[in-house]
Amino acid sequence: MTLEIITADSLAPLRHGFFTRRGGASSGVFEGLNCGTGSSDQHDVVTINRSRVADAMGVSLDALMGVHQIHSADVITITQPSAERPKADALVTATRGLALSVLAADCQPVLFADHDAGVIGAAHAGWKGALGGVLEATLDAMEALGASRANTHAVIGPSISQTAYEVGPEFFEDFIAQDSGFARFFVNGETGKYQFDLPALGLYRLRQAGVKSAEWTRHCTYADPARFYSFRRAAHDKEADYGRLIAAITLGAAG
């Protein structure tokens, strides 16, 4: 099966994509394109999957850059290939020949591009990272490389949707304590629970930050097991582990 890659017109003509699980070498609960080195999947198989992504991005495997994600607002500026995976949740670069990537399995993978400045970014934004400012921090790091928020396009990839994201009252209260206006991202659920709209929060934070455009691909990871991995779905199904989806973007070949 060939790779399935979701793209966005606003990021074109840069090579980029939100990869689904289709077209990978993993099996069992990881069946498909599991790119999570932190999963319990076979290391060699994950490497095969990541190699396929690198090929699709037109870079070598060692130029497919990622970070050790910790649900933070920390951003790394990448200037050359490195085998190290520093603890952070976003990457930016103005260097051609590199592909920036993030992993997700319900959290938001977000790709950024300022075409005029030749600066790109990638961020992993779960509720904690989005609330903590990882999207704004990514834009700050891009600006340090010459980008402008007013010229930057941002696209949120497949993420858990509001209908699948049930949370408790304490979760709601933590958000409201920071900003009462965040109530807009919740609707009442069953038995005192709420349904939380993570992509709406991401879009709100991006638009408030002043980007040129912000969009969500409108794919729910929880609702489509044939195409997407989902941490929450795996937990509900009592599976031992789950795969990680990858999103990547590159400025193109060095030269």
Order of strands across the sheet that contains 245-250: 5-6, 15-19, 245-250, 99-104, 64-65
Answer yes or no: is 89 within a domain: yes
Answer yes or no: is 146 within a domain: yes
Tokens of 199: 């992509």
- For residue 224, the enclosing domain spans 5-159+215-250
Q: pTM for this one?
A: 0.97
Q: Does residue 13 sit in helix, strand or coil?
A: coil
Tell me, what DSSP letter sits at residue 124? E
Domains held by the chain: number: 1
pLDDT tens series, the chain, 255 aa: 799 999 999 999 999 999 999 999 999 999 999 999 999 999 999 999 999 999 999 999 999 999 999 999 999 999 999 888 999 999 999 999 999 999 999 999 999 999 999 999 999 999 999 999 999 999 999 999 999 999 999 999 999 999 999 999 999 999 999 999 999 999 999 889 999 999 999 999 999 999 999 999 999 999 999 999 999 999 999 999 999 999 999 999 887
Residue 246 belongs to a domain with what CATH number? 3.60.140.10
Answer yes or no: is 67 within a domain: yes
Answer yes or no: is 172 within a domain: no
